[in-house]
Structures are given as structure tokens and as C-alpha cells.
Amino acid sequence: MATKRSNQIEAEELRQSTPSSTVLQAINPRQPIAAQIYERLRRAITTLSMLPSEALSEKELSLQLGVSRTPVREALIRLADEGLIDILPQRGSFVAPIRLRDVEEAQFIRESLEVAVSRRLAGGCSRRFLTEIKSNLYDQEKAVNTEALDLFLDLDEAFHRSFCEEAGLPKSWRVIQSVKLQMDRVRYLSLPDLGHLRVLLTQHRSIVDAIESGDVEKAGNDMAAHLREVLRTARKLSEQRRDLVEN
């Protein structure tokens, strides 16, 4: 039976002979392999560096990454759970199309949860939270001004995550993050619009203001309006990019 080492050497050779992609980078054998693979594939799919209907085979991925098929398989199962890939038994696994239906439902779930979270925070939150969230807003402005798109997206994610953290709702964030993936793919289709980013930043500020002033209704309404922005662009894109967006 081949050892881990020989397996890794094979993979090393393979890596040199094939064109590299974001997925193909050294795996750290010290920490859980399945989680690393999941993370990497998730990123590749949400950033559209892997496109819908592209095939992901257990065997090929395990060879390319220099690991066995077991952790690859576990990563694929998680991705399928989150609707990012479709596993067809005995046929293959494929990146799922961007289904307008799924994006709409993701938006529904996110809105339901984040509106409730915002209302809760408007009902009471810590000084510390308000300080930190304003610091984040400041960073967002810098990112917009320097046109640092990826940075803005990271700050946006941190913005929404910190809401759940402050409210003491970690599982809610996990749900949001999971359905958010469907919306992220749409974002990457339409990203380089700087004016759009300014709109988002304004909305973020409006939400924070409402929370700070304790206006429960406004906090919820502003968050709802904010989250509907993404859906609007998704609907627009579904007309233009029928090659990538389904329904």
C-alpha cells in the first residue's frame, strides 16, 4: 500500500505538469484535510473561478491535491448540502447552476433572520459593539475610495457577522453564511460597479444609525432594503447572462 509520502510526491509531479488553478495549492497535513478542501472549493465556486456545470471528480481532485478520495468526498458532500454542487450518484458531481429560485430563497432566509437580528440589536446593544462597527464602517469607506473590492467584500462579511455575534446568535450566522453563498456568486458576476458599493455603504450606515438610536422598526426596514439590493442585481443579471444563470 502506498504511503502518504509517495502519494504526495505523485501529486507534486502532477502539479508541475498541469496548469495551476486557485484550488491547487499545498495542503497542510497538520490540520483536518477535509475542511481545507471544502474551504478551497467553496471559495473557487463562489468566486466563479469554477463555473456552473464544471465537473468535480473525487478521483481527479484527490490526485491534484495529493490526498486520498475520502476527505475530498466529505468536502463534496458538504458542498452539496449547501447547494453549491449537484451530486448525481454513479454519474458525477458538478458545480450547480446559479438558480434564480435558489437566490431568491436565500434572500428570503437571510432577510428574515437579519431583520430579526437588527431589531434585537436596536432594542439594546453594547457600547463596544457600536465602536467596533463604526470602525468597520470607516474601513469600508477607505476600501471604496481605494477601489479595493475584495477588501470591501471581506469587511461586508465581517459587518454582518458581527451583528450575529453581538446578539449572541452564532448558529444564525452559520445559516446566513450558508445561504449567503448563493448570493455571493451573483455578486461576483456584477462586482466592479463602484457606484453600487457606495449605495451599500450608505445603507450600512443607515442601519447602524437606526440601531444606535434604538429605532427598532427602522433598523429592520433598513436591513431588509439593504439585502434586497443584491436580489435586484441578480434579477437583472439573469436576463443578461442566461449562460450562467438559470430560470
Which residues are at the interface with DNA (CB under 7 A)?
Answer: 1-4, 6-7, 30, 32-34, 56-60, 62, 67-71, 73-74, 76-77, 87-93
Residue 77 in contact with a second copy, rule: CB under 8 A: yes
Q: Considering beta carbons, is residue 7 or 162 the nearer one to DNA?
A: 7
Q: Considering beta carbons, is residue 48 or 176 the nearer one to a second copy?
A: 176
Q: Considering beta carbons, is residue 87 or 151 the nearer one to DNA?
A: 87
Place of cell 495529493: 66
Question: CA dist 110 to 66, 86, 91, 105, 227, Å?
Answer: 37, 22, 33, 8, 8
User: Nearest distance from residue 18's CB to DNA, in Å?
Assistant: 15
3-state DSSP call for residue 159?
helix
> How far is it, in rounded angstroms, from Cα 183 to Cα 168?
24
Binding part of the chain for a second copy, among 8-16, 100-108, 122-130, 145-153 by CB under 8 A, reads 100-108
AA identity, residue 113 = L
CB pairs under 8 A, 24+ apart, for 5-13?
7/66, 7/67, 7/68, 8/66, 10/63, 10/66, 11/63, 11/64, 11/65, 11/66, 11/67, 12/66
The number of residues making up the chain comes to 247
Select from DNA, a second copy, none the partner in contact with residue 58, using the beta carbon and a kind-dependent cut-off of 5 to 8 Å: DNA
Select from DNA, a second copy, none the partner in contact with residue 67, using the beta carbon and a kind-dependent cut-off of 5 to 8 Å: DNA
Contact 172, 113 (CB under 8 A): yes
Contact 102, 238 (CB under 8 A): no
Residue 105 in contact with a second copy, rule: CB under 8 A: yes
3-state DSSP call for residue 162?
helix
User: Nearest distance from residue 169's CB to a second copy, in Å?
Assistant: 6
Residue 102 in contact with a second copy, rule: CB under 8 A: yes
Q: Considering beta carbons, is residue 7 or 172 the nearer one to DNA?
A: 7
Residues that bind a second copy (CB under 8 A): 32, 70, 74, 77-78, 81, 83, 89, 102, 105-106, 108-109, 111-113, 115-116, 168-172, 175, 179
